[in-house]
Structure 1
Amino acid sequence: MNAALTFATSRRPSGDILLSAVGEIDMSNAATLAAALADAHRDASGGPVTLDLTGVEYIDSAGLAVLYPHVATLRLVATDLLAPVLTVAGLDDLTTIAD
């Protein structure tokens, strides 16, 4: 069974791309996250992309693996529940994680 996952993309006043995810990210839909991130980075034309994970209730290793190729231009926003998972995965050493 696929975990429910939806995305919304917008442009911040600064011009940066904001990609908001809602639901659960796991191996059943990690490719969907990868495609959404690729589209957001293409729209950003090399600029930063903020991935808002405050609506994400769960992320597994497949979902985390999708984030690593984008760390140079990716900023993550996470809840207090999800931030420790991102930290344990080492993403806090590679990109900005805000709450």
Structure 2
Amino acid sequence: MTTPLTFSTSSRPDGTCVLAVVGEIDMSNAETFATALAGAAVRATKGQLVVDLTKVEYLDSAGLAALFAHADQIQILATPLLAPVLTISGLADLTAVHTG
């Protein structure tokens, strides 16, 4: 069974692409997440992509792997509960992680 996960893509006034993710990212839907992330990375006209994880309730290692694949191009918005996972995994050493 696939865990529910939704995405929306928008642009900030400065042209930065934002991929907003809602739900849980786990091994059942990590490939879908990776595909959405790759597509948003291609559309990022400024070269920078903000991945908004503030409405993500769960993130496992499969989701982290998808984020690591784009670490050089993304910034992450995360909840205070998710931020430690990004730090412990080492992802915060490779890209900016902002809590909100």
**TM-score, length-normalised on structure 2?**
0.95
Task: Please report how far the alpha carbon of residue 69 of structure 1 lies from its aligned counterpart in structure 2 after TM superposition.
Answer: 1.3
Matches within 5 A, 1:35-54: 35-45=35-45, 47-54=47-54
Instruction: Please name the residue that 2:61 is paired with.
Output: 61
Aligned-partner SS, 1:72: coil
Query: SS at the partner of 2:72?
Result: helix
Q: Could you say which residue in structure 2 is the equivalent of 1:34?
A: 34
Give the secondary-structure state (helix, strand or coil) at the position aligned to 2:92: helix
CA distance in structure 1 between the aligned counterparts of 2:46 and 2:35, rounded to whole angstroms: 16
> By percentage of residues, which structure has more helix?
1
Partner of 2:83: 83
Which residue identity is paired with 1:36? A
8 Å CA contact 2:24–2:58 kept in 1: the answer is yes
Structure 1 residue 2: Cα displacement: 1.1
8 A Cα contact 1:3 1:29, kept in partner: yes
Two-structure CA RMSD over aligned residues (Å): 0.9
Does the 8 A contact of 1:25 with 1:59 survive in 2? yes
Between the two proteins, the alignment pairs up a number of residues equal to: 99
- State the 4+ residue runs in structure 1 displaced beyond 2 angstroms: none
With 39-48 and 56-65 compared, the bigger mean Cα shift is at 39-48
Long gaps (5+) in structure 1: none
